[in-house]
């Protein structure tokens, strides 16, 4: 297999840096030394595994991307930017013919898919890049589709905790609520308990100090109408390693699709899982 060139956008953010670090040490990939970054970033560059990466602001990207394409050749893009930039970034990738993997939650999901489908590229877009959690979601989706109303009459409580810098409610939690709705439980995504305060995370959740700046803990609790039956599903992730590994698999999957000429198609991590 030829080397896969990848531009990791969102640097110097934590997850983008972790993914870039993985790619720089993996012989299957070559890290493109440029990264789109957010307006709050003052730096003009950063270093990843001794590779100097130039940071490009949104107002500069249109004027620079063609030169980058000419100097680097064909490449895939990884997007771990702010939720508010999701749709505009997707439009940028599609406009300039840049296949991409997007792991950022938020944005208008229907518009995202429509943007990709009407373009000349393929993309992998998922709110969660952790393969095992995506597999768990697939199991819940199967239950929702095959046993609708299974938990009718039950009450649901959903709690999720992430690092303070995560701006939006967990996309995984929102998706899970959708499955529970199909299973007969009346619950709104607006009722998800979202925790972002480190002191609460330490005192009430017991999250280790070293992971307060990077974690994803979720608990879904179901209780029967007469209070005699209780189900609880929990998935807790400390750090970001599991997301980085999933992103690498998504890139390998997307590269294969691009090589076979796939265009105008949006894939999910479920598609990636089926190919592993």
State yes or no: is 162 an active-site residue. yes
Shortest CA distance to 267 belongs to which of 50, 137, 167, 117?
Answer: 117
Residues paired with residue 267 on neighbouring β-strands, in sequence order: 124
Please classify residue 211 by burial: count the beta carbons closer than 10 Å to its beta carbon, then call 0-12 exposed, 13-18 middle and 19+ buried: middle
Give CA 221 to chain center in angstroms. Answer: 24
For residue 176, the number of C-alpha atoms closer than 13 Å in the C-beta half-sphere is 27
State yes or no: is 235 an active-site residue. no
Show the beta-strand stretches assigned E in the chain.
Answer: 4-9, 29-31, 34-36, 45-48, 51-56, 76-79, 100-102, 122-125, 155-162, 193-195, 215-223, 230-238, 265-267
Give CA 258 to chain center in angstroms. Answer: 20
**Catalytic site residue from 82, 131, 166, 257:** 166
Tokens 């002191």 belong to which residue? 199
**Catalytic site residue from 131, 162, 215, 218:** 162
Give CA 23 to chain center in angstroms. Answer: 17
Q: Burial code of 164-198, b = ≥16 C-beta within 10 A, e = fewer? A: eebebbbbbbbbbbebbbbbebebeeeebeebeee
φ/ψ region of 206 (left if φ > 0, alpha if ψ in -120 to 50, else beta) reads: left
Catalytic center residues: 162, 166
């Amino acid at each position: 297999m030829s080397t896969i060139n990848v531009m990791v956008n969102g640097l110097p953010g934590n997850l983008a840096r972790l993914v870039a670090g993985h790619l720089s040490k993996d012989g299957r990939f070559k890290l493109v030394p440029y990264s789109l970054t957010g307006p709050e970033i003052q730096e003009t560059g950063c270093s990843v595994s001794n590779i100097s990466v130039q940071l490009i602001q949104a107002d500069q990207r249109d004027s620079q991307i063609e030169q980058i394409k000419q100097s680097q050749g064909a490449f895939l893009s990884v997007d771990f930017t702010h939720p508010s930039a999701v749709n505009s970034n997707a439009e940028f990738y599609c406009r300039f013919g840049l296949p991409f993997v997007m792991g950022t939650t938020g944005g208008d999901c229907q518009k995202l898919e429509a943007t990709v489908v009407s373009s000349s590229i393929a993309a992998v877009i998922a709110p969660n890049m952790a393969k095992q959690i995506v597999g768990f979601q697939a199991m819940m989706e199967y239950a929702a589709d095959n046993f609708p109303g299974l938990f009718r009459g039950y009450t649901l409580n959903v709690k999720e905790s992430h690092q303070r810098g995560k701006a939006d409610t967990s996309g995984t939690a929102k998706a899970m609520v959708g499955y529970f709705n199909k299973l007969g439980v009346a619950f709104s995504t607006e009722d998800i308990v979202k925790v972002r305060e480190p002191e609460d995370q330490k005192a009430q959740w017991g999250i280790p100090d070293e992971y307060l700046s990077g974690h994803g803990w979720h608990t879904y609790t179901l209780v029967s109408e007469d209070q005699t039956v209780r189900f609880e599903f929990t998935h807790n992730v400390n750090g970001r390693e599991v997301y980085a590994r999933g992103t690498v698999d998504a890139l390998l999957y997307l590269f294969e699709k691009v090589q076979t000429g796939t265009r105008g198609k949006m894939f999910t991590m479920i598609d990636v899982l089926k190919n592993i």
